């Protein structure tokens, strides 16, 4: 059965570069990003893991934990982690799951057999503090992901969760937001006493709510 947005993120125990973890316990009450990459000692993965390490402080500010995954052996990771620091200027400061038996990859559908029956594709799962899946994406091995976009999605999801606003096309932090349709006009008057712009009754635009 394939996972869908809104499903509970399956729990698992796994070996990682920082020891064994129980995934749900590791998440605690944070948000989490679980992302797979195909293989250690490959060029695109090297850039991705280094960039994620540089973004970690931004994820920390937002109470988001990050964890990578590949089907490589733990002992293969150590030299590669040194290479990442040397070539990307960031030391990998988050755990990597060593999914050698492909248990987690299978649970999350990270192996797409018609692309490769042995390696994971590039997947990303954003998981909320309720342990439900909020975003899923899959990229081919040859295309490095845009992790700034993942940070942007986190900002959008957290605004929706705290303030019941959605974010329009190409929204950036600080841009105007949209009151979600589930909020009635009467409820919106309480939540947004300054009012909203409404080019159509179903489009209600407000400044980005403050934290
Ligand atoms: C890479 O990370 O560069 C890569 C990995 C697997 C297939 C193609 C590229």
Residue 50 Cβ < 6 Å to ligand 1: no
Q: Give residue 201 CA to ligand 1 midpoint distance, Å.
A: 48
DSSP character at residue 132: B
pTM of the model: 0.97
33 touches 56 (CB < 8 A): no
Q: Give residue 45 CA to ligand 1 midpoint distance, Å.
A: 6
Q: Give residue 35 CA to ligand 1 midpoint distance, Å.
A: 15
Atom 7 (ligand 1) nearest CA: 141
pLDDT in tens, 108-131: 999 999 999 999 999 999 999 999
Signed CA dihedral, 134, 125, 146, 58: sign only = positive
User: Domains (ranges, CATH) in the chain?
Assistant: 13-144 (3.40.30.10), 163-206 (3.30.1020.10)
pLDDT in tens, 156-181: 999 999 999 999 999 999 999 999 99
pLDDT in tens, 3-32: 999 999 999 999 999 999 999 999 999 999
Q: What are the C-alpha distances in Å from 40 to residues 96, 125, 131, 149? A: 11, 20, 28, 23
Catalytic residue among 32, 34, 45, 179: 45
97 touches 104 (CB < 8 A): yes
Residue 49 Cβ < 6 Å to ligand 1: no
């Amino acid at each position: 059965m394939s996972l869908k947005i809104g499903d509970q993120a399956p729990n698992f125990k796994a070996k990682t570069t920082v020891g064994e973890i129980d995934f749900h316990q590791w998440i605690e009450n944070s948000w989490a990003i679980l992302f797979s990459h195909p293989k250690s000692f490959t060029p695109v993965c090297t850039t991705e893991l280094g960039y994620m390490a540089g973004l970690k402080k931004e994820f920390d500010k937002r109470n988001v934990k990050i964890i990578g995954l590949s089907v490589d052996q733990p002992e293969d990771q150590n030299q590669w982690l040194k290479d990442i620091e040397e070539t990307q200027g960031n030391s990998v400061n988050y755990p990597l799951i060593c999914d050698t038996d492909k248990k987690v990859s299978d649970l999350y559908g990270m192996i797409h057999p018609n692309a490769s029956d042995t390696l994971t594709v590039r997947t990303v799962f954003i998981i909320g503090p309720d342990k439900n899946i909020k975003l899923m994406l899959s990229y081919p091995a040859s295309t490095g992901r845009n992790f700034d976009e993942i940070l942007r999605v986190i900002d959008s999801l957290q605004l929706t969760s705290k303030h019941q606003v959605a974010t329009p096309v190409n929204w950036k932090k600080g841009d105007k937001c949209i009151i979600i349709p589930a909020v009635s006009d009467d409820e919106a008057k309480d939540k947004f006493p300054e009012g909203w712009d409404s080019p159509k009754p179903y489009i209600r635009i407000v400044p980005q709510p403050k934290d």
